[in-house]
Chain A
């Protein structure tokens, strides 16, 4: 049985950098969130980062 093509094949393709592979073609670009200046800044920044499936392969 043929499986349907994955959606967004270019967007979700890995990128081989030689010493490692990026899971897809999406970069979450740099943003100044102001979390750095709050209490528990690193905990807040850690929680802010999108979790695995958003940035790794599905």
Chain B
């Protein structure tokens, strides 16, 4: 079953001015294109009703109380009693409209810190009327919404409530309150209890790649013990076996996956056909989905450039099959080779390394990025299914490629070696050698360069070691008390493991480190390193490296970092000697990925550029 993106029951509740609202019949009629399409294929679809409350970036956000959210510059206006009743009526009207539009049901959003949570939590609801003041009053809004929605829907219409199991904010709900609300919600006529984790403003990551798979299914299990309705669990479930195991254990009755459907719309079809190997797995990078939305761009997917572009024309099969060599089996080369082969070209894929993957082979060794290996498994399967000729462990020259009609040069990058005196000192290592474990790393380390690679290496080198219980380790490091021992919101002081290294992360640019990291994940990566005691310095001038360590100058002051190891994370240059040879030989070629532009390693750019080329060739 599908749940749509959020539609507000009224103008006040939209995330911004002009965002999706379902409040009139003309709008409802337009939805039938969607519901008809889903039903034609035998599917079911529910519309989500979402009032954002104090998170709205519209003209004037509204909320139970005039308390500003940390993530919104605007302070909300407190709703009057009449306005609350009107809002409830608006939810009911939208439900009737959803039914008219052909939806099979409605999901009332009550997690992530939106309006219903703002009423439920004492931290955001300071009212002293019937809608606030004690727990029963704080529940009233959400429960009245559910009753009104059921009354408007009639009996044979699916009603889902998405409940926040764990707010992860100060002044959030206690577990007893979560349970009590769930049980009360059951009495309003809902059919399914969906669950969510964390409010948007929470300073704990809940969906990014460093969150262990199915990190919260145990909490869903806890809820399941006290309710009768089917429970839906979610967050970081991206694999059919993980989903199957959750259900087999009885942690939940259904599994919700969202981003995995961007990565592969055919997830369920492939699983059902016993082709799990062919699933393009969501790596929870957020780079082309959530990061796009935050930048006001439509979502798509780093590993699946076709995501959200289904309306546009598919790439047709080629009218003329040609012999194409793809040199380099990193993300760009893999995307080019598979897309070209899919369209009917005869593709040979080369790589000097004995395995496919390029930079993804390093990425997947970073703690929290293990799922990058799944992308390689997906491409490996696709190469096999498309019968792409592969010659791995072979370095090719232009002369070897004379028989091809076209060459895709996807030879990637070489790490940049900045001109620092002492760079040849034995304590200096490239990030590749460190990630591959080929260079010993001492207890005190300096990283030159604080871009994405610098942050990755910092996470790797300060990682406390693989825990036998990664979910417990994640909870401890971030201060999540899933047992709700004595606190609201499930928060507890973090218990950081003993530091394994002392690390300095350095950049030449002045200003805050990590400013260039991705919007929805950078804050958590930066925060983690801070919690681990990593020293972050900007405005650094590198003076030299010798037996004493790394000499730097910051704010005009000379400093010596007495480190055992210096790791270069100082950018990359394109590797494209092959292009010179091909030019000389007169063989047509196209540069893609890092071989084209290496400025900041960018898997999205590499995969999308290569795919776009291959779709049109």
Contact = CB atoms under 8 A, between A and B. Distances in A.
Contacts of A34: 292-293, 296-299, 308
B397 interface: no
Bin chain B's interface residue count: 35 or more
A38 B253 contact: no
Contact of A45 (B34, B48, B254): B34
B258 A26 contact: no
Given A36-B19, A55-B1, A55-B43, A19 B155 contact: yes
Query: Main secondary structure on chain A at its contact with chain B?
Result: loop
A8 B244 contact: yes
Contact of A52 (B42, B48, B156): B42
B1 A11 contact: no
Query: Main secondary structure on chain B at its contact with chain A?
Result: mixed
Interface string A20-40: 101111111111111111101
B268 interface: yes
B247 A42 contact: no
Contacts of A28: 1-3, 256-258, 261
Contacts of B297: 34
Given A26-B255, A30-B109, A49 B269 contact: no
A25 B269 CA distance: 13
A49 B272 contact: no
Contacts of A53: 41, 266, 268-269, 272
A24 B274 CA distance: 16
B260 to A, nearest CB: 9
Interface of B: 1-6, 15, 18-20, 30-31, 33-34, 36-38, 40-45, 48, 50, 104, 107, 109, 155-156, 158, 162, 191-192, 194, 230, 232, 234, 240-241, 243-244, 247-248, 253-259, 261-262, 265-269, 271-274, 276, 289, 292-293, 296-299, 308, 310-311
25 contacts: A7-B240, A11-B247, A17-B158, A17-B192, A25-B247, A26-B267, A27-B194, A27-B232, A29-B258, A30-B48, A30-B50, A32-B293, A33-B5, A33-B298, A34-B299, A40-B311, A42-B30, A43-B311, A45-B34, A46-B33, A49-B38, A55-B44, A55-B268, A56-B41, A56-B43
